[in-house]
Chains A and B, each alone.
Chain A
Amino acid sequence: MPTAWPERDDNELLSLIQNGSSQAFSTLVERHTQRFYRLAYRYLQSREAAEDVVQDAFIKLWENPALWQPEKNSKFTTWFYRIVVNLCLDSRKRKSAAPLDDGMQLIDEREPMDETMIRAQEQKMLEKEIAALPERQRTALNLCFDEGLTNQEAAEIMGLNLKALQSLIMRAKTTLKARLRSIL
């Protein structure tokens, strides 16, 4: 009895995609779209931009499945995260002139702010400072604080050893603490 599509592992699906299987591609897309979208969103802070990046990455894989070389890459997700990160960085460079979504409303200090509003404001300030970090520190933060990724996997995605990754995280957090000290 043939294995059901959702039960096939990523390597098997990729092998089938290399043979032109659109069903295998569909299964892979459905399995991983959300996780790569989350990462892209961390970078781009825009649903539309993040969806475009994820779509571009998967279409790139479909169009040229020979890009995946199992003998060189241990895990599909590690490899694909790199593709998504690079596309996010390209996207940011192209749109570098555009300001971050600054939907923060002007606060009227005469009105009491409830907890939700305070938290939303803190999050916006945090995102703004993360976006201003050097590229590698930002990447390290985005990967390490994404659910489902260990620090080891994040290091592998960035092509670093664990110590180097931890150093980047430490520097990123030091910078953030300094810039956000008034609200931390």
Chain B
Amino acid sequence: MAMKDPRDEKLDLWLQRRGLTPASSDLAQRIILRAQQVPQIKTASLWQSVRELCAEFHLPKPAYVLASALTIGLVIGFSTPQDNDSSGKDVVAAQSFLAIDEAIL
């Protein structure tokens, strides 16, 4: 069985007994006071930014605004009359234009 080197034991003892000058008793308080003078960097989410914007302009809650906008958009979309012949008219106009060109040639 290998004998432990007495120098190892002595070194371990020294390492465990390393001296230390205690911190100032008011260190924690100084840190806390210093932090009061430092503003935090805020990283807000997109939704939070939208909420703040609505609050700034006294708008109703963003969810209501979005729902209202969607509803209005759908109503406008469905109430606009659909013109099915418009594409057909465009094709006829293009063909007559091409026919004019052919005539010139």
Task: State yes or no: do A and B come from one complex.
Answer: yes
Q: Which residues of A contact B (CB under 8 A)?
A: 20, 22, 25-26, 29-30, 33-34, 37-38, 41-42, 47, 50-51, 54-55, 58-59, 62-66, 120, 122-123, 126-127, 141, 145, 173, 176-177, 180-181, 184
**Judging by beta carbons under 8 Å apart, are A66 and B7 in contact?**
no
Mark the stretch among B35-43, B74-82, B87-95 that contacts chain A: B35-43
**Judging by beta carbons under 8 Å apart, are A37 and B27 in contact?**
yes
Q: B residues within 8 A CB of A177?
A: 5, 7-8, 11
Q: Which residues of B contact A (CB under 8 A)?
A: 5, 7-8, 10-11, 14-24, 27-28, 30-32, 34-36, 38-43
B80 to chain A, nearest CB (A): 47
A20 to chain B, nearest CB (A): 6
B26 to chain A, nearest CB (A): 10
**Judging by beta carbons under 8 Å apart, are A47 and B21 in contact?**
yes
Q: B residues within 8 A CB of A127?
A: 18-19
**Judging by beta carbons under 8 Å apart, are B28 and A30 in contact?**
yes
21 A-B interface contacts by CB (under 8 A): A25-B32, A26-B32, A33-B28, A34-B23, A42-B18, A47-B22, A50-B23, A51-B23, A54-B27, A55-B34, A59-B31, A59-B34, A59-B38, A64-B40, A65-B40, A123-B17, A126-B14, A145-B15, A145-B18, A176-B11, A180-B11
A1 to chain B, nearest CB (A): 25
Name the CB-closest residue of B to A146.
B18
Name the CB-closest residue of B to A173.
B11
**Judging by beta carbons under 8 Å apart, are B27 and A51 in contact?**
yes
**Judging by beta carbons under 8 Å apart, are A29 and B31 in contact?**
yes
Distance between Cα atoms of A173 and B12 in the complex (Å)? 9
**Judging by beta carbons under 8 Å apart, are B38 and A62 in contact?**
yes
Q: B residues within 8 A CB of A184?
A: 7, 10-11
**Judging by beta carbons under 8 Å apart, are B11 and A20 in contact?**
no
**Judging by beta carbons under 8 Å apart, are A123 and B27 in contact?**
no
A177 to chain B, nearest CB (A): 5
**Judging by beta carbons under 8 Å apart, are B35 and A33 in contact?**
no
A168 to chain B, nearest CB (A): 14
**Judging by beta carbons under 8 Å apart, are A20 and B40 in contact?**
yes
**Residue among A26, A37, A55, A64 making CB contact with B41, cutoff 8 Å:** A64
**Judging by beta carbons under 8 Å apart, are A58 and B24 in contact?**
no
